[in-house]
């Protein structure tokens, strides 16, 4: 997911094609996601640009990181698992579309929750959980970067090199963000297109080698496990909500934002289903599971040889590095916005060199710890569960504000029920297979509440809602 931070204007990480780097520079100067020069959208983001932001947000490091895990859980039904997760994303996209055009703000998710539920402990804890979830997301990308990069070293030393590369990626990219986010942002525009083209090439060449028997219903896991497989890989869809953050800059936002949200999620569902079908159809499940940390590269070898393996491995490293850059910068700004709303310590509001440096450093250090201590499965479980909780709250916010957003309540109800059912399936599967992961998730939720309640009790700081980048 090239940029995954609902508290920040997507262009701040340079994802928006053509105008990304230029907007990033203006955003650095403005700091809150909407500059006076923008004038609320004089340039205007159109449908294609908004759609590319959503696609770039979703097709980042996630698919490279979690594909092997999805196959392990869903077997030959992996394409179905991606459809299940995609439908949850699609219904949630509806809630984002209604909230975005009603409350256009670079604050995104933070703003919508505050509008619906006020600025109490509940929303404050959710906003802190959102920040922590992005740290988990960063850890997933860093883990994938290290896993694919380690394939270029002797097998006996890959474990060591995985951790070396994880640490190098996080430290190096954090350093680049400290020096100049705008410079890094300029190359993000190209990376989005390159990684989508490589995946389309993978699909186009691999379709001819699919063995239908490997995708037959007899190879699918039981329904609950299939659904849980879709939910543990839900992280691969996270990022579509970035489109909502552009509402204040979009041309004809009432039409552009909903159309871009649905088009981007629909395109990515089709892309992921095809990638999953090519992977499972060309390589036996047990071999995919054996190489689950770099499954996409392994799946390319049967029909593209060593060249294909190397191509996908390099693409994965490029894509995950891009995702680390964008998410690290975005989550640092998310901490800044939440702090501005009074829900995190005031020190995170401080800017050095026109950037929220404290948030960046804290996020980077936390990412180093999580990525080096947890395995892929636990990272994916915790991250997906965190975002499902937040997205359930967004659907509930749309339902609560339906008189103002003009939302169809049954769709909002469906989105809310879908997120909760998906979360329940994920938790049940985790309880039966890896109960220790539930303790990690519970610990993060408790930590979010503890940070929020503890900070309120200690500071007594005034909390306020910010709209329109103000």
Kindly report, residue by residue over 246-261, the tens digit of the pLDDT.
888 888 889 999 999 9
- State the average pLDDT over residues 274-296: 91
Neighbours of 48 (CB within 10 A): 12
- State the average pLDDT over residues 383-388: 86
CB neighbour burial string for 357-372, b if at least 16 within 10 angstroms, e if fewer: bbbbebbbebbbebbb
- State the average pLDDT over residues 226-235: 81
- State the average pLDDT over residues 441-445: 84
Instruction: Give the pLDDT confidence score for residue 333 in this predicted structure.
Output: 58
* Residue 120: DSSP 8-state: S
- The reported pTM is 0.79
Query: How far is 408 from 427, CA to CA, in rounded Å?
Result: 29
Q: 19-28, 149-158, 260-269, 309-318: lowest mean pLDDT where?
A: 19-28
**pLDDT at 445 exceeding the cut of 50:** yes
Helices (H) and strands (E) in the chain, counts: 17, 0
Question: DSSP string covering 18-55, please?
Answer: TTHHHHHHHHHHH-SS--TTTTTTSS-B-HHHHHHHHH
Angle at 282 between CA 280 and CA 287, to 5 degrees: 70
Highest mean pLDDT among 39-53, 357-371, 411-425: 411-425
List pLDDT tens digits, range 186-226. Answer: 566 677 778 888 889 999 999 988 999 999 999 998 888 88
Beta pairing partners, 75: 220
Highest mean pLDDT among 58-67, 115-124, 352-361: 115-124
What's the whole-number average pLDDT of the chain? Answer: 78
**pLDDT at 357 exceeding the cut of 70:** no
Q: For the domain 10-459, what is the CATH code?
A: 1.20.1740.10
* Residue 131: DSSP 8-state: H
Neighbours of 79 (CB within 10 A): 21
Question: Strands (DSSP E) along 304-423, which ranges?
Answer: none
Q: Give the model's confidence band at 465: pLDDT under 50 very low, under 70 low, under 90 confident, else very high.
A: very low
CA-to-CA dists, residue 445 to 56, 167, 233, 270, 355, angstroms: 28, 26, 20, 33, 28
Q: What are phi and psi of 41, to 5 degrees?
A: 120, 30
Instruction: Give the pLDDT confidence score for residue 22 in this predicted structure.
Output: 38
Whether residue 210 contacts residue 277, with contact meaning beta carbons closer than 8 Å, is answered with: yes
Q: Give the model's confidence band at 310: pLDDT under 50 very low, under 70 low, under 90 confident, else very high.
A: very high
Neighbours of 27 (CB within 10 A): 28
């Amino acid at each position: 997911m090239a940029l995954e931070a609902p508290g920040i204007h997507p262009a701040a990480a340079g994802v928006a094609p053509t105008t990304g780097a230029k907007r990033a520079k203006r955003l650095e100067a403005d700091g809150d996601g909407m500059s006076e020069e923008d004038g609320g959208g004089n340039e205007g983001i159109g449908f294609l640009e908004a759609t590319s932001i959503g696609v770039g947000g979703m097709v980042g490091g996630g698919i490279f990181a979690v594909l092997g895990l999805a196959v392990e859980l869903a077997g030959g039904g992996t394409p179905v698992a991606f459809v299940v997760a995609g439908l949850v994303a699609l219904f949630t996209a509806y809630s984002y579309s209604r909230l975005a055009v009603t409350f256009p703000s670079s604050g995104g998710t933070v703003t919508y929750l505050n509008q619906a539920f006020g600025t109490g402990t509940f929303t404050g804890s959710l906003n802190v959980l959102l920040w922590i979830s992005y740290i988990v997301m960063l850890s997933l990308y860093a883990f994938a970067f290290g896993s694919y990069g380690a394939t270029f070293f002797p097998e006996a030393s890959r474990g060591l090199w995985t951790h070396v590369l994880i640490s190098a990626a996080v430290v190096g990219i954090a350093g680049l963000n400290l020096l100049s986010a705008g410079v890094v942002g300029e190359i993000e525009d190209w990376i989005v297109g390159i990684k989508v083209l490589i995946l389309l090439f993978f699909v186009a060449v691999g379709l001819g080698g699919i063995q239908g028997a490997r995708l037959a219903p007899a190879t699918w896991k039981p329904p609950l496990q299939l659904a849980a497989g879709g939910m543990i890989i839900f992280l691969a869809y996270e990022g579509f909500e970035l489109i909502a953050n552009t509402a204040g800059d979009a041309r004809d936002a009432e039409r552009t934002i909903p159309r871009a949200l649905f088009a981007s999620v629909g395109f990515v569902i089709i892309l992921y289903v095809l990638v999953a079908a090519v992977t499972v159809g060309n390589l036996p499940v047990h071999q995919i599971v054996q190489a689950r940390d770099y499954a996409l590269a392994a799946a390319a070898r049967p029909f593209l040889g060593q060249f294909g393996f190397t191509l996908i491995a390099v693409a994965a490293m490029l894509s995950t590095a891009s995702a680390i850059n964008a998410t690290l910068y975005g989550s640092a700004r998310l901490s800044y916005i939440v702090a501005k709303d009074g829900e995190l310590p005031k020190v995170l509001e401080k800017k050095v060199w026109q950037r929220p440096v404290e948030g960046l450093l804290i996020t980077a250090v936390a990412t180093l710890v999580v990525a080096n201590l947890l395995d892929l499965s636990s990272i994916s479980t915790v991250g997906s569960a965190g975002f499902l909780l937040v997205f359930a709250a967004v659907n509930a916010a749309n339902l609560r504000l339906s008189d103002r957003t003009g939302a169809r309540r049954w769709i909002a109800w469906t989105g809310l029920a879908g997120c909760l059912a998906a979360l329940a399936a994920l938790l049940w599967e985790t309880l039966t297979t890896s109960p220790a992961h539930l303790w990690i998730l519970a610990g993060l939720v408790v930590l979010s509440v503890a940070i929020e309640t503890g900070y309120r009790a200690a500071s007594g700081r005034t909390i306020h809602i910010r709209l329109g980048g103000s």
